[in-house]
Structure 1
Amino acid sequence: MACLLIVEDDVDLGEGIGFAFSADGYVTDLAVSIRDGRRMLAGGGYDCVILDCNLPDGSGFDFCRAIRAESDVPVLMLTARDTELDEVMALELGVDDFMTKPFSVAVLKARVKRLVMRRDGGQAVQSNGIRVDLRECRVFRDGGEVLLSKVEYKLLLFFLENRNQVLSKEQILEYVWDSSGRFVDENTVSVNIRRLRSKIEENPDSPSCIKTVHGLGYIWKEN
């Protein structure tokens, strides 16, 4: 059972995030300041930290720097400031992932799940005869390797991490492309899903894995 530390001074938001993850079986703790976060982290045992950028007693960037001096626990940073400079600074400090507010809870869950899996040493995800080697970022279908583009690989991984759940085009855009959906439109999703189907489906014209849910989005249907 994974344990998350949420460092967020907006109590309602922090509790909402905690509730969403608790429903999936995670154990969550909420810190509303860097001071609280330091105290909780000192006890150890966390599998991931969800860290707000702006806190009442300092910057999330400074806190991340302190975390990295002592621990390799995965850190996902949340910020209301949608600037490239913030993202670059966060990644240079050792943040494992970065999302801007407002954000999709489904996308946040998928990203945290991926970070926790990597920490736990998870090396593969598989479904319906498709196997993804997370360590080498390679995809296999019925034993043979399937060559995917970077976008197709991320798209496939998002589906596998959320199998049997309907994913909207907006959620897919946010996860696979830019965090705010910039530079692409909804047509980009359908085009890339069509390309992915052509590589992993036995019959792309009648897909059995990635199904369209009209008016809602797409779903990976596990057989």
Structure 2
Amino acid sequence: MSKLLLLEDDLSLINGLSFAFQKAGHELDIARTLREAEALWQEGKYDLLVLDVSLPDGSGFEFCKKVRQTSQVPIIFLTASDTETSIIMGLDIGGDDYITKPFKLAVLMSRINAILRRSQHFKQTPGELSSNGITVQLLEGRAYKNGAPLELTAAEYKLLRFFMEQPDIILSAEQIMGRLWDCEGNFVDGNTLAVYIRRLRAKIEDDPTRPTRIVTVRRMGYKWNTGGGAE
């Protein structure tokens, strides 16, 4: 059984989602305000958060930012705010998915189940990311492959961490470049990003010519592939 936190102020939607989540076997806590969500977050451990954006006392974006300071728990935004700016912001601040209202319940449940499966497959402990034989010690700022230290530059470490924090999610070059900058604080362009990815693959892949960890998704971008097989 997975434990979910729903942050939503629409009572009719709360009633419908509560029934659907519980029927699917999920344990559910409900918050109708940002303050209630913050109190529940302090008290409980959750496997996934479903957040509205517009709330009586603030924004779901604010809550997401606070959560991301200490946790990589999966987050889905479920909101009527369907502008491109809002969607980009929601994903850039750490959301794993963004679903706009009105929505189909079956689609929402399918996405929740997919994210929960991915989260369970991706081992994460406080201060550590681990997947496919690669481990990142967040507090130490070090990375290891099958227990052996990896000699990474600051940019390579930052890139690896960014990929591993969002397993199996396709990241566009623009999204990656928006988070990655060189040691002098300059933003990275597309050519430089390609070089960084090639160099990182040379250090973490068993066969850099056939990458299985950082894979290219044609015409879309890159993703950290927890499946471990070439795509």
Question: Which amino acid in the other structure matches residue 97 of structure 1?
Answer: D
What is the aligned-residue identity percentage? 41
Which residue of 1 is the match for residue 5 of structure 2?
5
Cα deviations across residues 55-94 of structure 1 (Å, max 9, x unaligned)?
A: 1000111111111112111100012122111110001100
Q: Is 1:26 equivalent to 2:26 in the alignment?
A: yes
- For 1:49 and 1:114, locate their aligned partners in 2 and report how far apart those are by CA, in whole Å: 14
Map of 1:208-223 to 2, 5 A cutoff?
none
Which residue of 1 is the match for residue 115 of structure 2?
115
Map of 1:184-223 to 2, 5 A cutoff?
none
Q: Secondary structure at the match of 1:65?
A: helix
Which residue of 2 is the match for residue 196 of structure 1?
none
Question: Which amino acid in the other structure matches residue 85 of structure 1?
Answer: T
Q: Secondary structure at the match of 2:69?
A: helix
Which residue of 1 is the match for residue 44 of structure 2?
44
Whether contact under 8 Å (1:53, 1:61) holds in the other structure is: yes
Whether contact under 8 Å (1:15, 1:30) holds in the other structure is: no
- For 1:120 and 1:67, locate their aligned partners in 2 and report how far apart those are by CA, in whole Å: 19
Deviation at 1:44, TM superposition (A): 2.8
What is the count of residue pairs matched by the alignment? 130
- For 1:66 and 1:83, locate their aligned partners in 2 and report how far apart those are by CA, in whole Å: 23
Question: Which amino acid in the other structure matches residue 99 of structure 2?
Answer: M
Which residue of 2 is the match for residue 66 of structure 1?
66
Which residue of 2 is the match for residue 103 of structure 1?
103
Which stretches in structure 1 are left out of the alignment for 5+ residues? 124-133, 138-148, 151-223
Question: Which amino acid in the other structure matches residue 65 of structure 1?
Answer: K
Taking only aligned residues, the RMSD between alpha carbons, in angstroms, comes to 2.4
Question: Which amino acid in the other structure matches residue 20 of structure 1?
Answer: A
The change in CA–CA distance for 1:85 and 1:10 in structure 2 (over 3 A counts) is same
- For 1:53 and 1:98, locate their aligned partners in 2 and report how far apart those are by CA, in whole Å: 10
- For 1:100 and 1:135, locate their aligned partners in 2 and report how far apart those are by CA, in whole Å: 22
- For 2:75 and 2:169, locate their aligned partners in 1 and report how far apart those are by CA, in whole Å: 22
The change in CA–CA distance for 1:136 and 1:81 in structure 2 (over 3 A counts) is closer
Deviation at 1:15, TM superposition (A): 2.2
- For 2:102 and 2:169, locate their aligned partners in 1 and report how far apart those are by CA, in whole Å: 32
Superposition TM-score, scaled by structure 2 size: 0.52
Deviation at 1:122, TM superposition (A): 6.6
Which stretches in structure 2 are left out of the alignment for 5+ residues? 124-166, 171-216, 219-231
Deviation at 1:135, TM superposition (A): 5.9
Cα deviations across residues 160-202 of structure 1 (Å, max 9, x unaligned)?
A: xxxxxxxxxxxxxxxxxxxxxxxxxxxxxxxxxxxxxxxxxxx
- For 1:44 and 1:71, locate their aligned partners in 2 and report how far apart those are by CA, in whole Å: 13
Q: Secondary structure at the match of 1:25?
A: coil
Which residue of 1 is the match for residue 133 of structure 2?
none
Superposition TM-score, scaled by structure 1 size: 0.54
Which residue of 2 is the match for residue 15 of structure 1?
15
